[in-house]
Amino acid sequence: MKKVNLSEIEESERHSPKGKYRKFVKDISIALGREKDSLDLAKRHPFDLALVRIPKDKSYCPYHSHSAETELYLVISGRGAVRDRTGITKVAAGDAFLFAPGEAHQLTNAGEEDFVYYVIADNPRGDSCCYPDSQKFAVEKEGEEEVITRGIETDYYEGEE
């Protein structure tokens, strides 16, 4: 059995240049040996678990949807505002919610203290993200992290014949 304690896991920080988006993440699955770039399911794990902390007045990331990933959330402390296609829903400690592929969402701290939650994601290979507000897409590029692109809807065969 592989075991870790949250106190032993380094918390990584990521923030946007102007500070609207800021998050602190403890990648529990990676601490348990998950190899996120491996194609071997035994090394990749069938899901990913992280503990996320969002400071006051910050959001995790822009409003987005995943093409293939499902995410399950469990709020531990603080208050959040979750945006989806129906509007904004307030969440608090003990609330759980799920987003399936194609369901756009955004999590924001809506309280005075840190908004803390667990997220479990199946992290399938080949997942991409769509950012409806900015009409951008994040796609994997072979041998690299990801590429952010902006596109417009077009016919499937345009430029192909």
For residue 73, count other CB atoms closer than 10 A to its CB.
Answer: 20
For residue 38, count other CB atoms closer than 10 A to its CB.
Answer: 12
State how many domains the chain has: 1
152 inside domain: no
Is 122 in contact with 29 (CB distance < 8 Å)? no
121 inside domain: yes
Q: How do the pLDDT tens digits run along the chain, 161 residues long?
A: 999 999 999 999 999 999 999 999 999 999 999 887 777 777 878 889 999 999 999 999 999 999 999 999 999 999 999 999 999 999 999 999 999 999 999 999 999 999 999 999 997 877 889 999 988 998 877 666 778 888 777 776 677 66
End-to-end, the C-alpha distance of the chain in Å comes to 56
50 inside domain: yes
155 inside domain: no
The predicted pLDDT at position 11 comes to 97
Amino acid found at 86 = T
151 inside domain: no
For residue 71, count other CB atoms closer than 10 A to its CB.
Answer: 20
The predicted pLDDT at position 157 comes to 66
134 inside domain: no
The predicted pLDDT at position 89 comes to 98
140 inside domain: no
13 inside domain: yes
CATH number for the domain spanning 110: value is: 2.60.120.10
Domain carrying residue 121: 6-126
Query: Rounded to an integer, what distance in angstroms lies between the CA atom of residue 24 and that of residue 153?
Result: 35
Query: Rounded to an integer, what distance in angstroms lies between the CA atom of residue 64 and that of residue 61?
Result: 8
Query: Residue 119's beta-bridge partner residues?
Result: 50, 73
